[in-house]
Amino acid sequence: MAISVVKSHIWSSYLSFLLHIFAASLLLLTTCASAQAFSEVGSEDVDSGRNNLYSEILRDEAVARLNELGKVSDADSYLERTFMSAASLRAANLICGWMEDAGLTTWIDRMGNLHGRFEGMDPSAGTLLIGSHLDTVVDAGIFDGSLGIISALSALKVLKTTGMLGKLKRPVEVIAFSDEEGVRFQSTFLGSAAIAGILPVSALQISDKGGVTVQESLKEHSIEITEESLLQLKYDPKSVWGYVEVHIEQGPLLEWVGFPLGVVKGIAGQTRLKVLVKGSQGHAGTVPMALRKDPMAAAAELIILLERLCKNPKDFLSYDGQCNDSTIESLSSSLVCTVGEISTWPSASNVIPGQVTFTVDIRAMNDMGREAVIYELSKQIYQICDRRSVSCIIERKHDANAVVCDSELSSQLKFAANAALKRMTGEIQDEVPTLMSGAGHDAMAISRLTKVGMLFVRCRGGISHSPAEHVLDDDVWAAGLAILAFLETHL
């Protein structure tokens, strides 16, 4: 578990790179299928659990549940669960049984979110929410979303098994959100945004490819939602203590530094642009180079400009006019920019294109810095297009501000993660790393309701949104132990 000197050095240099409710009327489902393969833990298991840190529950059973849930799919040959699909409901039913197995009271709300709650010693105290999403992308891995739900339920089951659940000082509620990936309706966070109270009522009328609206998709499963009842889904901020989410990292850093767990400092803000470059369409054999207005060559120059700017923002942004030192420093450590989609018209090998369109995805922890990058990028794009006599149109398609995780909650998670790793290895080691999340998560939406904290779990090769996604069994165990250690601070 201890990292090598070389890795420590790499890590420290990389660290410098990195550092930079309750709607009671909505009880639609209170019981679920109760036949659970792993629901019974006898006294013998409890005794051995004390010795082996509950590996039967936190590792073996959690891994078995991840595998079982990973088989619940709308497709035969790959994993796909979208909002309100038949497989989503089967998955919710399965998780519901696991929630009851952990001693929680369950229900599904009007946006299809599954809740499991334990009131604790003081039901009027602020609720600790723990959650992640039960939907998946197309051809997904089995850990994205599911790991956060299952590790929380495993930790609560340990408390139930040891008789400590009733000693929780405050209510704890696990939420399996119905939609985070946004595959079916192209709209992310339907579930968590509803609970945070930031989902516009117009979202109910968004249609999927088959013309079925969000509202109709819920009604198909006897869940009636109106604009009024959507607004009632919002939790009262005063009733909530905070929100914690465990999630696979979906990147390679934890594997690189040799840690199973990491604490998330924040979630990057994001802007998506669409750039349209129009030139003069023509014959590839007859138009001399000097007379061309080629949007493809212009787009190539623009994409290289983006890469240069995002690799070295300090070379492009002026300190006085656009950014201060800390903004530049934050950009240097967190700015990532991608052109992921490009299309040309008419897209033929013997034609100078008339038009090229490409997307730009810009993410950074510092929102002002991201704005400065967009300003500088746009200015230089127009200059290049002018020089090349092509026209450029930049459309801003999406914006989301960065979310900074609560520092106290992050410290508590760090303490819990360190304690978990120490319990597993029996040795004192370097502190778990802190990293930022380049991907969006439910915590982003819930941050509009309450303070949030996140724990990342190492995944093999940093691969996610793929059937190759993999988390070691012992890392699943570490995640469960960390959440258990965190819950123990609420006893």
Q: Judged by CB under 5 A, does residue 56 bind Zn ion?
A: no
Under the binding rule (CB under 5 A), the answer on residue 249 touching Zn ion is no
Q: Are 385 and 455 within 8 A, CB to CB?
A: no
The gap between the terminal CA atoms of the chain, to the nearest Å, is 29
Q: How far is the CB of 369 from Zn ion (least distance, A)?
A: 25
Residue with tokens 């968004």: 206
DSSP codes of every residue in 215-268: HHHHHTTT----HHHHHHTSPPGGGEEEEEEEEE--SSHHHHHT-SEEEEEEE-
- 145 lines the binding site for Zn ion (CB under 5 A): yes
Tokens 């013997």 identify what position? Answer: 350
CB of 182 to Zn ion, least distance (A): 11
CB of 135 to Zn ion, least distance (A): 9
The footprint of Zn ion on this chain (CB under 5 A) covers a number of residues equal to 2
Give the nearest residue (CB) to Zn ion: 144
Q: Which is nearer to Zn ion, 356 or 444 (CB)?
A: 444
- Exposure string for 118-157, b = 16+ CB within 10 A, e = fewer: bbbeeeebbbbbbbbbbbbbeebbbbbbbbbbbbbbbbbb
CA distance 292 to 357: 18
Footprint of Zn ion on residues 262-321 (CB under 5 A)? none
Instruction: Kindly tell me which residue out of 56, 101, 144, 406 binds Zn ion, with binding defined by CB under 5 A.
Output: 144
Q: Minimum distance from CB of 163 to Zn ion (Å)?
A: 33
Q: Would you say 80 or 100 has its CB closer to Zn ion?
A: 80
Nearer to Zn ion, 55 or 82 (CB): 82
In DSSP terms, 117 is beta-bridged to 105, 173
Nearer residue to Zn ion within complex by CB, 59 or 441? 441
- In the complex, minimum distance from the CB of residue 464 to Zn ion, in angstroms, rounded to a whole number: 8
- Cβ-based nearer residue to Zn ion, 118 or 456: 456
116 vs 145, beta carbon nearer Zn ion: 145
Q: Which of residues 182 and 354 has its CB atom nearest to Zn ion in the complex?
A: 182
Stretch that binds Zn ion, among 35-43, 104-112, 143-151, 163-171 (CB under 5 A): 143-151
Which one of the spans 55-63, 74-82, 141-149, 209-217 is the region binding Zn ion (CB under 5 A)? 141-149
Give the interface segment with Zn ion, choosing from 1-9, 34-42, 142-150, 278-286 (CB under 5 A): 142-150
Looking at the DSSP bridge assignments, the partners of residue 453 are 244
Q: Which of 112-120, 137-145, 352-360, 381-389 is the region at the interface with Zn ion (rule: CB under 5 A)? A: 137-145
Q: What is the DSSP string of 43-93?
A: HHHHHHHHHHTTHIIIIIIHHHHHHHHTT--SSSSS----TT-HHHHHHHH
Distance CA 388, CA 296 (A): 11
Using alpha carbons, list the distances in angstroms from residue 478 to 134, 262, 475. Answer: 21, 11, 5
The sign of the torsion formed by the CA atoms of 140, 144, 149, 150 equals positive
From the list 2-10, 145-153, 165-173, 190-198, the region that binds Zn ion by CB under 5 A is 145-153
Whether the Cβ atoms of residue 248 and residue 457 lie closer than 8 Å to each other? yes
Could you list the residues that contact Zn ion (CB under 5 A)?
Answer: 144-145
